[in-house]
Homo-oligomer: A and B are copies of this chain.
Amino acid sequence: MARKKEYKEEEVIEKAMALFWNNGYETTSMQMLEKEMGINKFSIYASFGNKNGVFLECMKCYKKKLNQIILPLKNATDGMKGLKQYFYDFIEFSRDPQIARGCLITNTANELNEDADPTIKAELSKFTGEIRTHFANALKRNTTKDAITIENQADYFLISMFGMASASRVFPKEQLHNYIENIFKNA
């Protein structure tokens, strides 16, 4: 043992995540990360390997943060009602005082092309799968639905969510609310 680390990995990752969330993967440079995380490049590379490593850790951090709106969905007795509330909750969750950040995961999926880092791509589809499972589980709590309907609707709401997350960076809140109402109109 020798000199002690002057920062906690979890704390600096939270700051890095905020940066990636606001600016996207490519736009966020090591220089920006250095400044925002408050530690030297050497320390970043010692702790996380490289820029990719920092980002992967940020995705984990984002997932944890997202739990604050996933939990109510899990606990909703009326699955469909809980799902609709999740859509509304997400808009508030994604809204920074200043700018509309969308979803870190969706933003990354939109930004990357197919020859991107495989580890990140794998994490993206893993995340998508998890959200889909949350949606399907919620729908199962509405006992009147048969299995096929549940799978179809889970797919439908998953793409709707992906779309809304993207659109939330561009369109105003009222239009997004109107969008949600139409999505769930006859569901």
Contacts and interface: CB of A to CB of B under 8 A. Distances in A.
Given A114-B99, A163-B162, A156 B182 contact: yes
Contact of A163 (B107, B109, B152, B160): B160
Interface in A124-178: 128, 152-153, 155-156, 159-160, 162-164, 166-167, 169-171, 175-176, 178
B153 A182 contact: yes
Interface of A: 22-24, 26-27, 99, 106-107, 109-111, 113-114, 128, 152-153, 155-156, 159-160, 162-164, 166-167, 169-171, 175-176, 178-179, 182, 185-186
A107 B26 CA distance: 15
A156 B170 contact: no
Contact of A109 (B27, B99, B159, B170): B170
| Residue from the set A106, A114, A170 with the largest chain B CB neighbour count within 10 Å | A170
A187 B167 CA distance: 21
18 contacts: A24-B111, A26-B26, A26-B27, A99-B114, A110-B111, A110-B166, A111-B111, A152-B178, A156-B179, A159-B164, A159-B167, A159-B171, A159-B175, A159-B176, A160-B160, A162-B167, A162-B171, A163-B167
